[in-house]
Amino acid sequence: MKKRGVKKTVLYTLISLLAVLILVLSVLFLASGVFQPKKYLEPWDKNYAQKFEDPRIRLSAYGLLAANGHNMQPWKIRLDQNNPMVFYLFADSSRMTPQVDPDSRQMMVTQGTFLDYVEVAGQEIGYQPDIAFFPDGLYDEKHLAESMNVKPVAKITLRKTVPRHTPLFNALYLPDTNRAPYKPEKLTGQQLSLLHQNLPEDQNLSVKVYQDKENISRLGKLAMEGAVIESGVSRVMAESGAIFRSNEYQKNKYRYGFSVEGQGMSGIMAQLTQGLVTLFPSMNSGKSASDLFIKSTQDSVNGTPAYAMILTKDNSRVNQVKSGMLYSRLTLTAHQLGLVCQPLSQVLEEYPEMSQAYKRIHEQYAPDGGTIQMLVRIGRPTQSVPVTMRRDVMDLIVKK
């Protein structure tokens, strides 16, 4: 009789534990917003851009998928009211990230990533975009935000052409950033050759790839130094934390910023993590956020077989934009070669705490002058990662 009583007690305990587990998981999933429709992923649907008859809006819908700093998507589009083949790209000053990007250099790079996606998509659907940079003149740097509001980054004039398929087009729909560890093998000579052949030629820009042991070690240390410095600057971390979207409700509301997908999470694990962060926000703030950032960067550095570096002869606004176009072409070409990329450019940021590390990397890798615009890890992926939030393209269109 005693044994039967013990068995019942154990059974009741297991049932109770199972009930508690189910309750906890239910609470986490509900907090995560697991049943919410993912409207923020609509632009990734291959039919999304096609529903817009105006080629300017259609091309902007493709541009919207481009890589961009902090996933702020800081683009504004003004359609020319007199010419249906002309539109203007503006930097959205309301989406500046002044703590991490005080000079808005990364913001200009982001304008370039958009323009390159427009070029690739234009070739595919039969519209050649002729791009004129800063057609109304350069910014007034002393009144930068105000200047961004009135001076376009680019005037895009479309010319109808015969559609020509490019393998780069399909890569527009792939995640631009993969933060997971990469396989240890170096890039082959053929991969390097094809990578460089596909990049636009410009005497003011260059791309260097490093995959020897000495430079991999040195650049890895510089990348980690930048990450450690950034993790210790509270105002920079707070700026990033303010745009973290912890659940599906927030992702649908804002459709920009950071989310768990940016860390490569998907499926059940992503939903559980979202639920936890929603219920316990401290998990993604303060020391916890800093430690996670450092660990994530260290994992990336440890799993890096090669680095690519984008350099410009000067740090002009035009070359900043062009370096973004070059970066997009680099990532799209990498996809065609079975490779993926991730920027590790914290060491290149311009706020005061980063100045010594910034100086060091330039002394070592740009000793004759010029500016390193981006430091990018590149290699063959060990895992696929999900795409991230995107706004509706019509939210980019401004009327004037």
Q: Is 286 left (phi over 0), alpha (psi -120 to 50) or beta?
A: left
Can you tell me the mean pLDDT for 348-366?
Answer: 98
For residue 17, is pLDDT > 90? no
What does the pLDDT read at residue 11?
67
Give percent of the chain above pLDDT 90: 82
Using DSSP, state whether 312 is helix, strand or coil.
strand
Give percent of the chain above pLDDT 70: 95
For residue 56, is pLDDT > 70? yes
Q: How far apart are CA 306 and CA 328, in angstroms?
A: 18
DSSP 185: P
**Could you tell me the maximum CA-CA distance found in the chain, to the nearest angstrom?**
92
CB 154 within 8 Å of CB 88: yes
Q: Which CATH superfamily is domain 39-172 in?
A: NADH Oxidase (3.40.109.10)
Other beta carbons within 10 angstroms of residue 366's beta carbon come to: 16
**Residue partners of 16: CB distance under 8 A and separation at least 6:** none
What does the pLDDT read at residue 400?
65
What does the pLDDT read at residue 96?
97
Q: How far apart are CA 157 and CA 116, in angstroms?
A: 14
Q: How far apart are CA 123 and CA 114, in angstroms?
A: 15
What does the pLDDT read at residue 7?
62
Q: Please report which confidence band the pLDDT of residue 3 belongs to, taking 50, 70 and 90 as the band edges.
A: low
The pLDDT tens digits for 40-50 are 999 999 999 99
CB 115 within 8 Å of CB 109: no
The pLDDT tens digits for 59-84 are 999 999 999 999 999 999 999 999 99
What does the pLDDT read at residue 201?
86
The pLDDT tens digits for 157-185 are 999 999 999 999 999 999 999 999 999 99
DSSP 259: -
What does the pLDDT read at residue 213?
97
Q: How far apart are CA 68 and CA 108, in angstroms?
A: 10
Closest listed residue to residue 101, CA positions, set 383, 329, 354: 354
What does the pLDDT read at residue 262?
75
Instruction: List for the chain the helix, strand, coil content (%; round to 5).
Output: 55, 15, 35
At position 327, the amino acid (one-letter code) is: Y
DSSP 199: S
What does the pLDDT read at residue 84?
97
The pLDDT tens digits for 302-333 are 999 999 999 999 999 999 999 999 999 999 99
- The mean predicted confidence, pLDDT, of the chain is 93
What does the pLDDT read at residue 147?
98
Where do runs of H (alpha helix) occur along 96-137?
105-125
**Residue partners of 203: CB distance under 8 A and separation at least 6:** 313
For residue 266, is pLDDT > 90? no
Q: How far apart are CA 377 and CA 300, in angstroms?
A: 8
The pLDDT tens digits for 196-244 are 998 988 999 999 999 999 999 999 999 999 999 999 999 999 999 999 9
Q: Please report which confidence band the pLDDT of residue 335 belongs to, taking 50, 70 and 90 as the band edges.
A: very high
The pLDDT tens digits for 85-134 are 999 999 999 999 999 999 999 999 999 999 999 999 999 999 999 999 99
What does the pLDDT read at residue 22?
72
